[in-house]
Amino acid sequence: MSSPVPSPTAPGGQRLALAALLVMTAAWGSTFFMIKDVVTRIPVVDMLAVRFALAAVALLALAAPSFTRLARSPADLRRVLRNGAVLGVLYGAAQLLQTFGLARTDASVSGFITGLYVVLTPVLGALLFRVRLNALTWLAVVLAGVGLGVLSLRGFAIGPGELLTLGSAVLYALHILTLDRLGRHGEETALAAVQMVVIALICGVAAVPGGLRLPASGTDWLIVLYLAVVAGALAMFLQTWAQARVGATRAAVVMAMEPVWAAAFAITLGSDRLSVRIVIGGLAILAAMYLVEIGPALRTRRRTRALATATAAREALDAAPPDREP
């Protein structure tokens, strides 16, 4: 007999979702030193247009059975197309704002401000959707923000580039929150595909004014293919799948691992060196991840104990002899 598959909202299903988000952030983190190299030969907007177009093709091929199933219910198909379009606009606009902001500020500052979506996600969730979080989760959010600052910042000033990048962080946070509300089990592949098509269209429109320049060498094509398939299509599917199983704030805290992975890949495969700053920042983010993981476990344990206490009290009351009348 095969073992049962954990329910999406059960602890086992949530742990699998957190693991999927870790794989996604590893894929994102592995791209930094590649992008830094390839954008010296291809304009950034052109690279984004080609990358997301290829990712859209890959996801559409993967999602073909899902679209066939959804086509039997026009209402469900329209809902997935509508939700995917909203999510794709948020993510695509965030990509462009981040790209234009990066051209006007330091990469380290851009990385920190973009990573502020970890903090903005629960803040906007509380303001827009009245989402209530416990103290342990807020502590994890603060720890993740501190870790991002230690990892990324070497100086800071407010200018047009920083404001554009902050706008992208707001949009990334809104994307996480909206995906948390619109994502449904069984529709992850189709929803990811629609998002990617819209992102590709937005980046393609942005690339049109200067003319689209394609990669000129086999090496550049391999890099762009990796960015498209692994860090694009696979990452989008994993995020969409995982967020149908864990809350937005927990997902955002785990996604703060991206700069940790980026530092690890840059040290292992690039020319960066391990430093005290990287260790401290990475440990702060790992501590934040631990807190968001143990929070639900602690709440489950408290509920179990309370239920066991109430059950024991009820059994003791039932077992007690009835009072005799005088």
For 71-123, how does the pLDDT look when each residue is reduced to its tens digit (9 = 90+)?
Answer: 999 999 999 999 999 999 999 999 999 888 877 877 667 777 888 888 889 88
DSSP 24: H
> What's the pLDDT at 5?
40
> What's the pLDDT at 3?
41
Structure tokens at 205: 């429109």
pLDDT in tens, 35-50: 878 888 999 899 999 9
Task: Give the integer Cα–Cα distance in Å for 125 and 132.
Answer: 8
Question: To 5 degrees, how large is the angle CA 285–CA 137–CA 243?
Answer: 80
The stretch 241-268 carries a mean pLDDT of 86
pLDDT in tens, 127-160: 898 888 778 888 888 888 888 888 766 666 678 8
DSSP class per residue in 175-229: HHHHHHHH--TT-HHHHHHHHHHHHHHHHHHHHTTT-PPPP-SHHHHHHHHHHHI
Task: Give the integer Cα–Cα distance in Å for 216 and 283.
Answer: 40
